[in-house]
Amino acid sequence: MNELKVIENDTKVVPYMVQGKISPMRKIYFLKFIGRCIVLMLCICLGFLRPQDFDILQDFMGRFSILHVLWFVWMTDMLLQLIYVKKHVPLGSQKLFHQRYIPAKGGFDGHGLREYIRKRTKSAYQVFIIYAVGIAALGLLKKVGILNDIWLLVICAFFYVCDLICVLIWCPFRIFMKTRCCTECRIFNWDHLMMFSPLLFVDGFYARSLVAMAVGVFLLWEYCIMAYPERFWEGSNEALQCSSCTDKLCSQYCNRKRYE
């Protein structure tokens, strides 16, 4: 693992980000955030000005639409969560793979690991239930005719932006998860499942393929947590410890909590 640049700060050594420098990973995520905002604006404009472009939802193999490109981008994003990627993908998303596991020196507390997984899983499924209620409300709005397929896809694009707001600015799920940062987040790879949940109420290959892929990512993640829990706790995986972090993807809140 690459060594971190450090600076002397009185009696302790702290990583260079404390001085305000932004890590390469965080810069990449800011660029992604800008791109996702553009995607949202594009989807809204198409919804008002070119609703025919959303015919792809029922006829995927019909006339080409810019939404084909968006489908490809989304599918590629999910594929990168299913395979081990050495660079340009944050550790929080890749910690399920053994290549990202650094066993704790001297072993670890098995009871502590079990308690950590139990508590975080309980919190995770509280989030799941609350989120499911919100998605069910969207389904009800679709059923009564307030929403249609076009605006359900636009809502997915809105969630696409919100995903990076959670990473870069503030994450409401921390209220339930008590998570220090994205790197240790128990539900990091739930993002696409949450993002594409509105498409559960849309027929056609476009929606069903995205939902199916998102479910596949979710199931792999949950399987690995149950089968290899040691990869998900900083007490057993040194790669997740603040002192080992190379992503520096955290918001200012996480950074402040880390070194106070």
Nearest-angstrom CA–CA distance, 104 and 237: 6
Name the band, by pLDDT with cuts 50, 70 and 90, for residue 259. very low
pLDDT at 29 over 80: yes
| CA separation for the pair 137, 201 (Å, rounded) | 11
pLDDT of 5 higher than 70? no
Would you say 158 and 40 are in contact if contact means Cβ atoms under 8 Å apart? yes
pLDDT per residue over 72-115, tens digit each? 999 999 999 999 998 888 999 999 999 999 999 988 999 999 99
Task: Read off the pLDDT of each residue in 138-154 and give the average, rounded to a whole number.
Answer: 97
What is the tens place of the pLDDT at every residue in 178-194? Answer: 888 888 899 999 999 99
Q: Which pLDDT band, with edges at 50, 70 and 90, does 6 fall under?
A: very low
Task: Give 14's strand partners.
Answer: 7
Mean pLDDT of all residues in the chain? 88
pLDDT tier, 18 (very low <50, low <70, confident <90, very high otherwise): very low
- The string of pLDDT tens digits covering residues 226-255 is 999 999 999 999 999 888 888 888 754 445
Contacts for 44 with CB less than 8 Å, ≥ 6 apart: 154, 157
Q: What is the mean pLDDT of residues 219-231?
A: 97
Give me the count of residues in the chain: 260
Mean pLDDT of 29-42: 97
Please give the distance of CA 233 from its chain centroid, rounded to a whole number. Answer: 18
Confidence of residue 23 (pLDDT cuts 50, 70, 90): confident
Beta carbons of 167 and 39 less than 8 angstroms apart: no
Residues with Cβ within 8 Å of 191's Cβ and at least 6 positions away in sequence, in order, are 163
- Cα 231 to the center of its chain, rounded Å: 17
Q: Tell me, what's the pLDDT at 251?
A: 58
Which residue would you say has higher pLDDT here, 215 or 168?
215
pLDDT at residue 242, as a whole number? 83
Contacts of 187 (CB under 8 A, 6+ apart): 124, 127, 173, 177
Question: Where along the chain do its domains lie?
Answer: 6-259
d(CA 169, CA 120): 22
* pLDDT on residue 22: 81
**pLDDT higher than threshold 60 for residue 68:** yes
The per-residue pLDDT for 20 is 55
Handedness of CA 15, 17, 22, 26 (dihedral sign): positive
Contact by Cβ (8 Å): 204, 57:
yes
